[in-house]
Amino acid sequence: DSYLKLVSKLVDVGLKRNVTLRGAPADFRFAPSSPQGAQYINKLKGLIEETAQATGKRVSLISHSLGGLQTLYLLSKQTQEWKDQFIEKWISLSGSWGGVAWTWRLFASGESLGLPVDPLLLREEQRSYETSFWMLPVPRWFGDQVILSTPKRNYTTQDYDAFFNDIGYSAGKKLLRRVEALTGAAEAPGVNVVCMYSLGLDTPASFTYGKDGFDMQPITKNSDGDGMVTASSLGLCDRWETAQLSSHSAKVIRFSKVSHARMLEDDNVLKAVMNELGLPFSSAIGSPLQPFRPMPTNYSDAVLGFDGGLTPLRAGEGHNSGLRAEVEPTGVAMSLGDSAA
């Protein structure tokens, strides 16, 4: 669980598990467009309100990866009065605001997620996840950029209907329409926000399939990014710096060559997070980490373990998804994330 290093440091400076350190996992299969996903958003809102009321302090949110989309969606559905009452700050790590290019490969020929398994064995299941559609590149931001090619044609984000027909998954057209409007505009959140991401790593950007079709793996072409999300998607939050000048602060902090999966473990990143929370940082190993325990059903307890998620992994990495909440001695922080360790 990659959140454990951050949690350990937060506990070391005075946070209390289950009291001022709170969280709830997200089932990575469901987007807010489904009843299950909508229920998660409702419970998340309730947890924020409960935490703020119990401590008498506004809440700071920390998200990672897909958790950024969950947070952005939640905030987009709240009134400005609610946000001003309950939210102190949002710290986003590695948000995939405009989508993730490698989801095209996932739909076409499956994604092994770094595991020693044939991606084709995972393809049918992965196509069933709402979040797979939610993470597809957004036409508004990717435009006419060619993402996938075959000997017969090129595909851009303007060609989703043809793409789903050609891979033999026409149901994808309907499923995409259920989620495409959730966060695709990547609008400023209306709260004080710090957007952190890293660049400088080869990141899957486009895919070329041969004459054998979609049952074979493609040739992958890389561009700049964090190893999972391309720079053009990560950097969409840069726009918030000017969009929020008159109402709320917005700051972007960029790192170099920290992988998407390591943003919750890198000392420089964690130091920046702690600084934004007004807390001291030590690179020394913190308190012993507690083992995983299941998520309580009422979301009122702290959680140190997450469900799995869809992140391509490097050797030796694992993956987790969920929400975590922290309350520091001088304020309240709640974080939600889809994290890879």
Active site residues: 65, 226, 260
Q: Is residue 4 left, alpha or beta, with left meaning phi > 0 and alpha meaning psi from -120 to 50?
A: alpha
Pair of tokens at residue 84: 């001003």
Q: Give the closest residue to 3 by CA, choosing from 256, 270, 201.
A: 270
Strands (E), the chain: 21-24, 59-64, 87-93, 148-149, 154-155, 193-199, 201-208, 219-225, 250-256, 319-328, 331-340
For residues 186 and 99, what is the distance between their CA atoms, to the nearest angstrom? 10
- In angstroms, the first-to-last Cα distance of the chain is 6
Instruction: Report in angstroms the alpha-carbon separations of 128 from 102, 124, 341.
Output: 16, 7, 24
- C-beta of residue 314 within 8 angstroms of C-beta of residue 336: no
What 3-state DSSP class applies to 64? strand
Distance CA 66, CA 82 (A): 23
Beta bridge partners, 322, equal: 337
